Structure 1
Amino acid sequence: MTGGLRLVVLGLSLSSSWGNGHATTYRALLRAFAARGHEVTFLERDVPWYAAHRDLVDPDWCRLVLYDDLGALDRHRDEIRRADAVIVGSYVPDGVAVGQLVQDLAEGVRAFYDIDTPVTLAKLARGEFEYLSPDLIPGYDLYLSFTGGPTLREIERRYGSPAARALYCSVDPDLYPARDLPQRWDLSYLGTYSPDRQPVLDRLLIDPARRCPDLRFVVAGPQYPDDLDWPDNVERLPHVGPADHPEFYGVSRYTLNVTRADMVAAGWSPSVRLFEAGSCGVPIISDRWPGLESILAPGRDILLAESADEVIGILRDRSEDERRQLAAAGRARVSREHTSAHRAETLERYLREATSVRGHAEAGLLVGS
């Protein structure tokens, strides 16, 4: 497979960033992938909760198609069959049936892109096959995972994946520039509500806010329960669209990263917020998890905290020069290793390698017959 590739992606959402991190991930990756000379089609189930919050309708770097239900995919059978590669994403509605359709039809590389790997594996262990079942995994030539490290070998050994590869999230630096703006908040947090993240958010932001009424905090994101008790110095923003992220980060002295429990347990699971904030030049305070040091260097590119005291110490005691040095180092690391261009190059390499492996296997079958 040489020259430009024809890629079909069946993902949760490209059109709406509301309440999910998938859209921004796909947008950054596929825009950069198309810039490498490839043709991209994105097939998205048309669902009401995203239809009401669409912030991308007609991208100029890929063809976006909305379909009503599983039956409506029949009109795209030839496109799926002829593609050089087809990717099915995690949390796609009727994902098991969609995956089976792709494996039955696609003549090119068939890949699963897991943007929720630890959650997926926990579901599989409980026998919950919401969008992926164990019998489908060996039929995907590639298992692309948001989680790296030992989890990749588990996917291969336990579930029979021919090739599990890390494909972390990334940032498009053109859309997430650093901006020198007047500071509005001492510590910000951007993320959809999650019950398993909330205790850490309480410890690392809400508790410091209660103890430091003279400092300013913000929590942005949808789906937070109405009965949560927010201190007076914590501003609440129900949604901040991707176009407004650079300004959100730009007016923050520091921003907080909080990782979901399953991803902490698995390790090697960076959030897209790490790279967005880093690209925007805001210093990051994060919870701890295995593998973080392979992505951003603690103490140089990022600061780690486990308690309210540590967060307060950072906000109170670090000089402005130290803050700016941390921001510059983080931004430089993201620019060197974690942009969408880096991930698009990695994806292309994985797809070409999988094509070569598949070609050799098919040639062996022909010889054997």
Structure 2
Amino acid sequence: MNIAFFGSSLVSSYWNGAATYYRGLLKEIAALGHAVTFFEPDALERQAHRDIDDPDWARVVIYPATSDGWQHSLAQAARSADLVVKASGVGVFDEELDSAIAGLPMRPLRIYWDVDAPATLQAVGENRSHHLRSAVPRYDLVLTYGGGERVISAYRAIGARDCVPIYNALDPRTHFPLQSNSSFAYDLGLLANRLPDREARIEEYFFRAARALPAKRFVLGGSGWDSGRIPANVERLGHVGTGHHNAFFASALATLNVNRASMAEYGFSPPTRIFEAAGAGACLITDAWEGIERFLEPDSEILVAADGEAVAAHLQSLTSARAAEIAGRARRRILAHHTYRQRALQFDRLMEGLNPRTEAAE
């Protein structure tokens, strides 16, 4: 199958948390024999912050972030693709692409792939005239990288023919344990870009814990934290490229995961950081969200905190030996049940199940 995939970026993780999801999943989809062309706009300074070269398992087409740019790319894709995928959050001309791909002729097949379903559905729920209400019913399938029954039901309620979560996972060839790096050897680490719907939760879970434990050392990686009231025991690193993620995760006593507010509300949307950090050998502390036990067992494979006070309590009692035990159990669980190879096989089965449409069905 020739797959044309319109997403934010495959080659840059700059302000683009979905990059490692795309890389892990599409690499394994390509390994199953599919040809992947990834279309991404030259936008938001991502090309100036590339962290990988064009991969050998996908063709990357970078188009101008203009109306002519996306239209030309879509016309090119529609001529040769068996399947056109539109991911959420491309960053420019999303509404136009969402609607244009939904309106393609009966062939190629069309999939809407939501990499932030809770936030998308919240926006749709608050706006009765949201463009996805008319676009989604025209797609052959909606895929999401999380969500569980609430997301599935919500998408079906706005007319999706079907909605299937393909969860984040681990690429063990990309994320694996390294020796500790003194540059990241803190008590608690967090990788998170500064976003409006996550900032208050990071204040609660990370900064509050740092203020409660002034003798502990905290490290914050991610873009956007240049200003603001940051505790004195928090070191800010700015953007941390994916090439340094393994060292980051492996070096701190523990790594914190903080979901965005909408993800925590919907549950069943484990971010890529959970799988990547576990694969790199991190001891994870996470904010509480529905469905976590489906992926990692609380208190055995991951530590769960209801608030910043609980994060501080976990960190205060955590020894190096216990952190290593938790990290080891988590990595074994992820390797056994949550790799991108397994997710790609799920995608392949879904594609086999999509009935080819004929011109007579128009």
Question: Under a length normalisation based on structure 1, what TM-score does the superposition of the two structures give?
Answer: 0.90
Aligned partners of 1:75, 1:53: CA distance in 2, in Å?
A: 22
Match of 1:163 in 2: 162
| Letter aligned with residue 60 of structure 2 | L
Match of 2:68 in 1: 71
Deviation at 1:33, TM superposition (A): 1.2
RMSD (Å) for aligned C-alpha atoms: 2.2
Instruction: Extract unaligned runs of 5+ from structure 1.
Output: none
Instruction: Extract unaligned runs of 5+ from structure 2.
Output: none
Deviation at 1:364, TM superposition (A): 8.3
Deviation at 1:144, TM superposition (A): 0.5
Match of 1:151 in 2: 150
- Local SS of the residue matching 1:52: helix
2:88 to 75, 87, 90: 90
Cα distance per residue 1:74-99 (max 9 Å; x no partner): 36525324322111010222223223
Cα distance per residue 1:30-82 (max 9 Å; x no partner): 11111222110001111152232222342211000011133233365253243
Which piece of structure 1 moves more, 310-319 or 70-79?
70-79
| Letter aligned with residue 328 of structure 2 | A
Match of 1:258 in 2: 258
| Letter aligned with residue 243 of structure 1 | G
Asked whether the 8 Å contact 1:82–1:107 carries over to 2, the reply is no
Structure 1 pair 277–235 and aligned structure 2 pair: CA distance change class (3 A): same
Aligned partners of 2:162, 2:206: CA distance in 1, in Å?
A: 40
Match of 1:11 in 2: 7
Asked whether the 8 Å contact 1:140–1:161 carries over to 2, the reply is yes
Aligned partners of 2:143, 2:328: CA distance in 1, in Å?
A: 30
Match of 2:16 in 1: 20
Structure 1 pair 234–166 and aligned structure 2 pair: CA distance change class (3 A): same
Between the two proteins, the alignment pairs up a number of residues equal to 356
Asked whether the 8 Å contact 1:148–1:166 carries over to 2, the reply is yes
Structure 1 pair 348–364 and aligned structure 2 pair: CA distance change class (3 A): same
Deviation at 1:321, TM superposition (A): 2.7
Deviation at 1:254, TM superposition (A): 0.3
Asked whether the 8 Å contact 1:181–1:251 carries over to 2, the reply is yes
Asked whether the 8 Å contact 2:179–2:247 carries over to 1, the reply is no
Deviation at 1:27, TM superposition (A): 1.2
Where do 1:169-248 residues align within 5 Å? Answer: 169-181=168-180, 184-224=185-225, 226=227, 228-248=228-248
Asked whether the 8 Å contact 2:86–2:113 carries over to 1, the reply is yes
Structure 1 pair 156–310 and aligned structure 2 pair: CA distance change class (3 A): closer
Aligned partners of 1:268, 1:252: CA distance in 2, in Å?
A: 26
Asked whether the 8 Å contact 1:7–1:86 carries over to 2, the reply is yes
Aligned partners of 2:226, 2:106: CA distance in 1, in Å?
A: 43
Structure 1 pair 287–129 and aligned structure 2 pair: CA distance change class (3 A): farther
Deviation at 1:255, TM superposition (A): 0.4
| Letter aligned with residue 34 of structure 1 | A
Aligned partners of 2:326, 2:86: CA distance in 1, in Å?
A: 38
- Local SS of the residue matching 2:9: coil
Structure 1 pair 155–212 and aligned structure 2 pair: CA distance change class (3 A): closer
Structure 1 pair 48–204 and aligned structure 2 pair: CA distance change class (3 A): closer
Asked whether the 8 Å contact 2:201–2:260 carries over to 1, the reply is no
Aligned partners of 2:280, 2:54: CA distance in 1, in Å?
A: 26
Aligned partners of 1:129, 1:74: CA distance in 2, in Å?
A: 28
Aligned partners of 2:336, 2:67: CA distance in 1, in Å?
A: 41
Aligned partners of 1:77, 1:240: CA distance in 2, in Å?
A: 36
Aligned partners of 2:190, 2:97: CA distance in 1, in Å?
A: 35
**Sequence identity of aligned pairs in percent?**
33
Aligned partners of 1:137, 1:40: CA distance in 2, in Å?
A: 23
Aligned partners of 2:318, 2:19: CA distance in 1, in Å?
A: 35
Are 2:336 and 1:339 equivalent residues in the alignment? no
Structure 1 pair 17–102 and aligned structure 2 pair: CA distance change class (3 A): same
Aligned partners of 1:365, 1:20: CA distance in 2, in Å?
A: 38
The 4+ residue runs of structure 1 with deviation greater than 3 A are: 362-366
Match of 2:29 in 1: 33
Match of 1:102 in 2: 101
Question: Under a length normalisation based on structure 2, what TM-score does the superposition of the two structures give?
Answer: 0.91
- Local SS of the residue matching 1:198: helix
| Letter aligned with residue 16 of structure 1 | S
- Local SS of the residue matching 2:49: coil
Asked whether the 8 Å contact 1:177–1:246 carries over to 2, the reply is yes
Asked whether the 8 Å contact 1:187–1:256 carries over to 2, the reply is yes
Aligned partners of 1:238, 1:129: CA distance in 2, in Å?
A: 38
Asked whether the 8 Å contact 2:84–2:109 carries over to 1, the reply is yes
Aligned partners of 2:3, 2:177: CA distance in 1, in Å?
A: 32
